[in-house]
Amino acid sequence: MNTPILDALKKLKKQNSISFHTPGHKGKNTLINWEDYIPFIDTTEIWGMDNLQDPKGIIKESQELAAKAFGAKYTLYSINGTTGGIYIALSTITNPGDKILIQRNSHKSVYNAALLNRLDIEYIYPKYNEANHIFTGINPEDVEANLKKCEDIKVVVITYPNYYGICSNIERIAEIVHKYDKLLLVDEAHGSHFVFSKKLPISALEAGADIVVQSTHKTLVSFTQSSMVHVGTDRVDIDKLMNMSSIYQSTSPSYILMLSLEIARAYMEREGIYKLEEAIYLAQDTSNKLKAIEGVNVFTEDEEDTTIYDKDPMKILFKLNGITGADLSKRLMEIYHIYLEMSDYYYALALTTLMNSKDDFKRLIKAMEELAEEKYTEIQPININMPKPNILVPIYEAFYSDKKAVNLKESIGKISASYIIPYPPGIPLICPGEQITEEIYYYILQLMDIGIEIVGFIGYNKEKILVID
């Protein structure tokens, strides 16, 4: 039997690996033994099982329980992940032709939602912290300046927290957005756990966001591709939300995914909330122990950077002197079977959740102690601040335009018709409608030279890029 995916998953299972990446359940059961239920619960909308497109029974009740737990006025299950949730949320609070303000380091789903809904984009830029080589937060005053400058902006989209766990002052941003009578959509993909502990940053719903999308599978315990859309204020039309949900979600939604969302909520209302408190302590203790290892640096704060309003302690951002974050992540995986969430030139990121055990943290500390004893040559310092684009054509016009494929060097001066996205963290460097400048060309070469994967090239050798013909 030729089953390459199954074979790879069996191999992964046998490795006894440590997961410091998504999904948040870390391969462990919560409340029920899933092996006893799958595939028997993979059902459809038979009598008594309700319908996500028009919930009136058990799904309606389950979503109401979720809304109560997360502090929402209304909650919708998204079985196409936060990507689908972003599509639903943004299309609910905009109309084609509207203008939105988004931070440049938004996830690709925000850009695609703008493309699908034919929205015009204005950008706000996070601070690039040169001392620590990371993108930090959004300055609330920059949000206000943009709203003053462009009065026709209808919606502000903020990512909270960012991929590194850094939180902008979301309460102040919500105040400003509502002062100008705009709507605030928060991509809280990595913050679904915030509401369950006072030791964590404030949740976006508590801060006053109008609509919030969370990846329940990332930091809580539901299955991959299961998320929630939470309505926070009366400014959101719930009837339109349901209409948009029927457009972007399958007419055959997975009951396995919906159940996993329900289990995630129910688990957090029982033992999960206590396990979260223990996990916060373990993550903070691990950060302190990693800091004590010579040559290891852990980013926790920068008092001079006012855009860092708070930070999620569950995300451990660390580096080892003399080695790139990508190489460090690779060594942890190959030698110790410790899999991290992401790595870049400088840092590696361990995404911890309430399902990580004490032994998980001990193995990470021991591995770093051993790796720190090796001798490394210093890495060449580089500036990873992304060049700012020249937007010449609306994103939706460029995407649907006539295109041609050219080599990267030939693309200088031309207008991109596709995305160029470094992974991680999946933030577009170039979007459709933006000019490929010489500065961007050399920046891409630099990323490729240090081993960062670039998604968006086409052709047999992935050496060509689509531009407007």
Q: What is the pLDDT along the chain (469 residues), one digit of tens a residue?
A: 899 999 999 998 888 899 999 999 999 988 899 989 999 999 999 999 999 999 999 999 999 999 999 999 999 999 999 999 999 999 999 999 999 999 999 999 999 999 999 999 999 999 999 999 999 999 999 999 999 999 999 999 999 999 999 999 999 999 999 999 999 999 999 999 999 999 999 999 999 999 999 999 999 999 999 999 999 999 999 999 999 999 999 999 999 999 999 999 999 999 999 999 999 999 999 999 999 999 999 999 898 999 999 999 999 999 999 999 989 999 999 999 999 999 988 999 999 999 999 999 999 999 999 999 998 888 888 777 878 889 999 999 999 999 999 999 999 999 999 999 887 666 789 999 999 999 999 989 888 887 778 889 987 777 899 999 9
The residue segments making up the domain with residue 444 are 395-468
Tell me the sheet residues that pair with 350.
316
pLDDT at 383: 76
Residues 152 and 129: their CA atoms lie apart, in Å, by 31
Rg (CA), the chain: 22
Looking up residue 356, the CATH number of its domain turns out to be 3.90.1150.150
Q: Is 174 in the same domain as 41?
A: yes
Residue 438 resides in a domain: yes
Q: Is 329 in the same domain as 419?
A: no
Residue 18 resides in a domain: no
Tell me the sheet residues that pair with 458.
464
CA–CA distances in Å: residue 39 to residues 34, 83, 214, 249, 254: 9, 26, 26, 22, 11
Structural domain ending residue among the three candidates 372, 403, 421? 372
For 322, left (φ over 0), alpha (ψ -120 to 50), or beta?
left
Q: Is 199 in the same domain as 129?
A: yes
CA 319 to chain centre: 21
Q: Map tokens 């766990």 to a residue.
A: 165
pTM for this model (two decimals): 0.96
Looking up residue 257, the CATH number of its domain turns out to be 3.40.640.10
Tell me how crowded residue 362 is: count the other CB atoms within 10 A of its CB: 14
Residues 85 and 396: their CA atoms lie apart, in Å, by 20
CA–CA distances in Å: residue 338 to residues 20, 141, 448: 7, 41, 25
Q: Is 167 in the same domain as 53?
A: yes
Cα angle 26, 28, 31; round to 5:
130
Q: Which residues contact 225 (CB under 8 A, 6 or more apart)?
A: 79, 80, 81, 217, 257
Residues 30 and 265: their CA atoms lie apart, in Å, by 11
Residues 208 and 77: their CA atoms lie apart, in Å, by 21
Peptide bond just before 126 cis, omega within 30 deg: no
What domain count does the chain have?
Answer: 3
